[in-house]
């Protein structure tokens, strides 16, 4: 019986049925698209997981792997093959031309899974000792080709192939330098590896029998429990895939939150539409109660109706989202160079369907229960208002909980998800009461306006609910559409500062005996040597006497993952008794010189955000391990570092007197000065300091800027979808308002006011709401952009006038056109 009543209700209100489903389906488009994209990306990573790692288990570190660690790994793994890989950055020479490359020395038999092949089809396994494979970028940069002789360190090699297939490459959105592959055995002969050189060493194991992903993860965890060393990275194919996909995870998480904004806007429209529908059905509800139907049965009938509306809307949304997914795929492939084959899984379908249906079901308590209080008097009463109880506001808790859970699910962060919901609750909690008061105050005014303008003003101030809903949709859409380009432009302006204000080259792996020679070289070239600093490798062992055990953590949020990565790793340490360019003390003081006879612990200053991630306060005691020697240090200061200056600096800086005798290298930057910066300078430098790695900062910044521009395009596209959702909601609200004002419009027309004048009034209504909403939306968007620039990136705020004004005009014009179109359609009916 209940099902028959629901179907009869749906058939009797076809227009409401269509508008409701369209609102939900368009709101679901963004979410459906992102879920398909994330599922496809995860599936691609899973399929490539073993080839990405190249083995079943890897044990790697930036410091030398000790014999004890090697023996523990061997004794705890049932393996059939083992090999050793090494990776470092150095300069590649083709005659007088040189470029920084990532040299990867691969051991015998590697990769155990997948392959590295050249365009000619040659496999890396067939490479001879004097041959290398190069990445395609080097062909254009250095004019290389197959058969050319190149110089790496002190040795000459022959280019045997240009890489076309690299199973270990993963999904990279940009890399510091192109790769070059050679045999690991010949790497020592290049004389590039010096004491303290930055070099990754990896041990790779192929298990004796084939293990599933779960078994390999279990093996990984077991080995981690045996090797208690935070400088050692132990990975299985699954954990390595998670690392490789981390950057795309952050992008998809943010896209998910943007799509949630679209679902939220659609939810606002659904609330308004279903509330209007119930208002029309209030007498039907009274009759059902009068003939003896229980309130719980009435609630079930209308909840069941919401279920079917959610079901149909979700199906349409998934269909549209699936059709739109190739657009996002193309944008990611074209702009970020990440090729993913779309896969539509049943799991993704059911998750998206569940979200869509749940988004309508959670509306039931807040919308239906107040109307269950309607009694038989409603049959003879023309007053459509409902008595409001304070308890009615508690009925909105399921809606809040739903969007809170969705925000955490999409962002994979309790903090970000919660902050997202808190912002929306503040906006709604402040907006509706304040907006209602403002409209009430404006309604008391009696401005002298033209007839159409006066009608528009009166309708805007008297129809508060529809005005506030339309205003909120435009307001949120405008904030999103202007926020993302603004943040991009703020960061872009910082990255595009004049070359005179930033270094041109960044140097690392400078040996202590090369420092004076480097200073002489820079002086002779009339350049500036900036922030030359010693670098010592160490690892954080304890904080206030407590060691860190990552195995205590279960499933991690984004913040816990970041803290784990910050703590559970080796660190670059430095020492000095002064501040350098681009940093300042924000709390505490600089560390003083350590005296072995008087002082019990050394002193250290930390970068403030690094300290915050690890939960370290002033006065805390840290224990570092440097080549097996424990060093205690007390935190005496926090520093603010302007990383966008691209000057060398460190998260951890000791005072003098404690690290001078530790093995070290130096890092530095080269400023333009009065000299000429060109390819010849780079070649002269590389020829004189073959082991020193040189990064061209300008080229790196161009790559960063390109990636930022690409990501912005994707985010703006998703924001535009949210804007389209807002426009559809507005169209629905206007159509509903015109229908409810049918008698008023007919009466006004009868007394002599032409439809053209009424149309003008409707358009002025929308113009008034859209202009005010756009102004408030831009204000909020720019306040958020200012906060992000100031507190997240420590950058100067910039008002992106051209883009913001362009978006504002677009939103206002489209809103007015919607009102024009809606009225014309209403008149034709």
Spatial separation of the C-alpha atoms in residues 27 and 321, rounded to whole Å: 10
pLDDT of res. 39 = 75
Q: Output the CA–CA distances (angstroms, integers) from residue 695 to 100, 275, 416, 503, 521, in the order listed.
A: 7, 62, 35, 10, 17
Taking alpha carbons only, the member of 510, 547, 552, 545 closest to residue 531 is: 510
The CA R_g of the chain, rounded to the nearest whole Å, is 32
Q: Which of 123, 172, 122, 178 is nearest to 150 (CA)?
A: 178
Q: Which residues contact 474 (CB under 8 A, 6 or more apart)?
A: 726, 730, 769, 770, 773, 774, 777, 811, 815
CB-side exposure of 695: number of CA atoms within 13 Å? 22
pLDDT of residue 384: 52
In angstroms, the CA 483 to CA 479 distance is 6
Q: Is residue 268 part of a domain?
A: yes
Pairwise CA distance, residues 487 & 274, whole Å: 37
DSSP β-ladder status, 155-166 and 149-152: antiparallel
Closest by Cα among 5, 468, 21 to 270 = 21
Last residue of a domain, one of 352, 382, 398: 398
Q: What is the pLDDT of residues 643-676, one digit of tens each?
A: 877 788 999 999 999 999 888 899 999 988 777 7
User: How far apart are the C-alpha atoms of 826 and 745, rounded to whole Å?
Assistant: 11
Report DSSP state, residue 675: S
In the block, tokens 């489903």 appear at 21
CA distance 238 to 57: 10
- Structural domain boundaries, residue 637: 528-671
Q: Verify that 167 and 197 share a domain, yes or no.
A: yes
Question: Are 471 and 775 spatial neighbours (Cβ–Cβ below 8 Å)?
Answer: no
What is the enclosing helix (H) or strand (E) of 99?
A: strand 97-106
In a domain, 420, yes or no: no
C-alpha 446, offset from chain centre: 49
Give yes or no for a contact between 266 and 28, defined as CB atoms under 8 angstroms apart: yes
Contacts of 725 (CB under 8 A, 6+ apart): 23, 26, 27, 29, 30, 262, 265, 266
Helix-strand-coil split of the chain, %, nearest 5: 60, 20, 25
- At 36-89, the pLDDT tens digits run 777 777 776 677 778 888 899 999 988 788 888 899 999 999 999 999 999 998
Quote the CA–CA distance of 563 and 434 in Å, as a whole number.
Answer: 40
Give CA–CA dist 640/455, Å, rounded.
57
Q: Tell me, yes or no, whether 253 and 220 share the same domain.
A: no
Do 325 and 378 belong to one domain? yes
Q: Phi and psi of 51, rounded to 5°?
A: -70, -30
Q: Do the domain assignments include residue 419?
A: no
| 197 Cβ contact list (under 8 Å, min separation 6) | 88, 509, 665, 691
Q: In the prediction, which pLDDT does 371 show? A: 77
User: What tokens does 229 get?
Assistant: 């060393």
Low-confidence ranges of the chain (pLDDT < 70): 1-2, 10, 44-45, 170-175, 230, 242-254, 328-329, 331-341, 343, 374-390, 494-501, 547-569, 707, 792-793, 829
The whole model's pTM is what?
0.67
Q: Are residues 183 and 194 in the same domain?
A: yes
How far, in Å, CA of 717 to CA of 258, rounded?
A: 10
Contact call for residues 560 and 417 (beta carbons, < 8 A) = no
According to DSSP, residue 500 is labeled: G
Place of tokens 């303290």: 196
For residue 78, give the DSSP letter. -
145 assigned to some structural domain: yes
Strands 79-94 and 131-134: unpaired
Residues 24, 115 within the same domain: no
Instruction: Locate all alpha helices (DSSP H) within 535-649, ordered by sequence.
Output: 558-567, 608-614
Q: Do residues 446 and 594 share a domain?
A: no
CA 693 to the chain's CA centroid: 30
CA proximity to 247, closest of 332, 164, 329: 332
Q: Are residues 240 and 312 in the same domain?
A: no
Is the same domain home to 12 and 43? yes
Q: Please report the beta strands in 591-628, taking only residues with DSSP state E, as ranges in sequence order.
A: 602-607, 621-626
C-alpha triplet 495, 501, 504: angle, nearest 5° = 80
CA 172-174-176 angle, to 5 degrees, is 115
Tokens of 770: 């859209």
Residues 252 and 228 in one domain: no
Structure token pair of residue 535: 């670098």
Whole-number pLDDT of residue 651: 93
Number of folded domains that form the chain? 4
> What SS3 state is found at 440?
helix
Alpha carbon distance 825, 814 (integer Å): 16
Of 371, 398, 425, which one is at a domain's C-terminal end? 398
Q: Sort residue 505 into left (φ over 0), alpha (ψ -120 to 50) or beta.
A: beta
Q: 159 with 282, same domain?
A: no
Alpha carbon of residue 406 to chain centroid: 16
**Is the CB of residue 740 less than 8 Å from the CB of residue 746?**
no
Residue 241 placed within a domain: yes
What are the residues whose beta carbons fall under 8 Å from the beta carbon of 463, sequence distance 6 or more? 737
Q: What is the pLDDT of residue 581?
A: 84
Note whether residue 228 is domain-resident: yes
> Residues 391, 448: one domain?
no
Domain boundary among 354, 370, 398: 398
- CB contact at 8 A, 199 and 62: yes
Do 798 and 825 share a domain, yes or no?
Answer: yes
Q: Which two tokens stand for residue 733?
A: 């609200």
Phi, psi of 84 (to 5 degrees): -120, 130
The residue with tokens 């523990």 is 72
In a domain, 550, yes or no: yes
With respect to residue 597, please indicate whether it lies within any of the assigned structural domains.
Answer: yes
- 86: which 2 tokens? 């090494």
Q: Are 469 and 274 in contact (CB under 8 A)?
A: no
Taking each helix axis as running N to C, give the angle between helix 14-53 and helix 237-244, from 0 to 180 degrees, rounded to the nearest 10.
120
Gap between the Cα atoms of 745 and 827, Å rounded: 10
74-103 in b/e form (b: 16+ CB < 10 A) is: eeebebebbbbbbbbbbbbbbeebbbbbbb
Question: Please, which residues have CB within 8 angstroms of residue 77's CB and are 6 or more apart in sequence?
Answer: 57, 205, 207, 219, 223
- Please choose, from the candidates 396, 450, 444, the residue with its C-alpha nearest in 3D space to the C-alpha of residue 424: 396
């Amino acid at each position: 019986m209940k099902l028959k009543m629901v179907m009869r209700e749906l058939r009797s209100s076809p227009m409401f049925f269509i508008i409701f489903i369209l609102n939900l389906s368009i709101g679901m488009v963004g979410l459906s698209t992102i879920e398909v994209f994330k599922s496809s990306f995860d599936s691609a990573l899973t399929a490539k997981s073993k080839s990405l790692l190249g083995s079943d288990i890897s044990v790697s570190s930036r410091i030398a792997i000790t014999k004890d660690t090697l023996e523990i790994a061997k004794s705890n793994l049932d393996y059939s093959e083992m090999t050793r890989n090494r990776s470092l950055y150095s300069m590649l020479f083709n005659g007088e031309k040189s470029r920084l490359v990532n040299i990867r020395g691969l051991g015998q038999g590697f990769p155990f899974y997948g392959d590295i092949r050249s365009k000619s089809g040659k496999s890396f396994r067939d490479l001879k000792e004097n041959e290398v494979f190069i990445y395609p970028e080097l062909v254009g940069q250095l004019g290389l080709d197959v058969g050319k002789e190149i110089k790496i360190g002190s040795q000459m090699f022959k280019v045997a192939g240009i890489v076309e297939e690299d199973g270990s490459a993963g999904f990279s959105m940009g890399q510091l330098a192109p790769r070059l592959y050679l045999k690991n055995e010949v790497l020592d002969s290049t004389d590039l590896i010096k004491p303290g050189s930055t070099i990754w060493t990896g041990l790779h194991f192929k298990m004796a029998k084939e293990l599933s992903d779960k078994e390999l993860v279990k093996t990984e965890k077991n080995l981690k429990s045996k090797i208690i060393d935070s400088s050692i990275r132990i990975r299985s194919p699954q954990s390595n895939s998670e690392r490789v996909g981390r950057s795309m995870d952050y992008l998809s998480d943010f896209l998910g939150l943007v799509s949630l904004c679209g679902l939220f806007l659609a939810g606002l429209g659904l609330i308004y539409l279903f509330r209007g529908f119930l208002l029309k059905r209030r007498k039907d509800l009274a009759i059902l109660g009068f003939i003896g139907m229980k309130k719980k049965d009435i609630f079930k009938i209308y909840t069941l109706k919401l279920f079917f509306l959610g079901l149909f809307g979700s199906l349409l949304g998934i269909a549209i989202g699936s059709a739109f997914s190739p657009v996002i795929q193309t944008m990611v492939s074209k702009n970020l160079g990440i090729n993913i084959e779309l896969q539509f899984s049943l799991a993704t379908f059911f998750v998206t369907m569940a979200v869509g249906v749940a988004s309508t079901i959670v509306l039931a308590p807040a919308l239906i229960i107040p109307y269950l209080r309607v009694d038989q008097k409603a049959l003879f009463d023309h007053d459509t208002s409902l008595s409001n109880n304070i308890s009615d506001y508690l009925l909105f808790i399921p809606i809040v909980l739903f969007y809170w859970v969705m925000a955490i699910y999409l962002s994979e962060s309790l903090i970000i998800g919660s902050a997202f919901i808190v912002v929306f609750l503040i906006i709604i909690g402040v907006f509706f009461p304040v907006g209602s008061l403002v409209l009430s105050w404006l309604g008391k005014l009696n401005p002298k306006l033209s007839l159409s303008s006066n009608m528009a003003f009166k309708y805007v101030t008297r129809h508060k609910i529809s005005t506030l809903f339309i205003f909120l949709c435009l307001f949120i859409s405008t904030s999103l559409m202007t926020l993302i380009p603004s943040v991009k432009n703020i960061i872009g302006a910082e990255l595009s500062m004049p070359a005179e204000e930033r270094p041109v080259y960044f140097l690392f792996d400078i040996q202590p005996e090369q420092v004076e020679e480097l200073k002489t070289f820079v002086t002779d070239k009339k350049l500036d040597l900036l922030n030359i600093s010693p670098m010592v490798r160490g690892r954080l062992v304890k904080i206030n006497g407590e060691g860190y055990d990552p195995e205590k953590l279960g499933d991690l949020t984004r913040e816990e993952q970041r803290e784990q990565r910050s703590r559970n790793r080796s660190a670059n340490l430095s020492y000095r008794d002064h501040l350098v360019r681009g940093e300042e003390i924000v709390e505490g003081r600089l560390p003083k010189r350590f005296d072995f006879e008087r002082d019990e612990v050394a002193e250290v200053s930390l970068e403030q955000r690094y300290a915050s991630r690890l939960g370290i306060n002033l006065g805390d005691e840290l224990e570092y391990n440097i080549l097996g020697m424990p060093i205690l240090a007390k935190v005496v200061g926090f520093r603010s570092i302007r990383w966008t200056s691209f000057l060398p600096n460190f998260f951890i800086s000791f005072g003098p007197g404690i690290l001078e005798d530790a093995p070290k290298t130096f890092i530095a930057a080269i400023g333009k000065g009065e000299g000429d910066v060109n390819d010849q300078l780079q070649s002269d430098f590389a020829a004189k300091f073959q082991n020193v790695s040189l990064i061209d900062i300008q080229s790196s910044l161009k790559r960063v800027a390109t990636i930022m521009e690409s990501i912005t395009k994707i985010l703006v596209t998703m924001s535009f979808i949210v804007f389209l959702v807002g426009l559809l909601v507005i169209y629905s609200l206007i159509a509903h308002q015109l229908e409810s004002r049918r008698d008023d419009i007919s009466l006004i027309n009868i007394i002599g006011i032409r439809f053209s004048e009424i149309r003008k009034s409707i358009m002025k209504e929308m113009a008034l709401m859209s202009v005010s909403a756009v102004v408030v939306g831009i204000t909020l968007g720019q306040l958020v952009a200012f906060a992000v620039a100031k507190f997240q990136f420590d950058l100067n705020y910039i008002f992106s006038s051209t883009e913001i004004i362009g978006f504002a005009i677009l939103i206002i014009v489209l809103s007015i056109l919607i009102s024009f179109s809606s009225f014309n359609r209403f008149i034709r009916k």
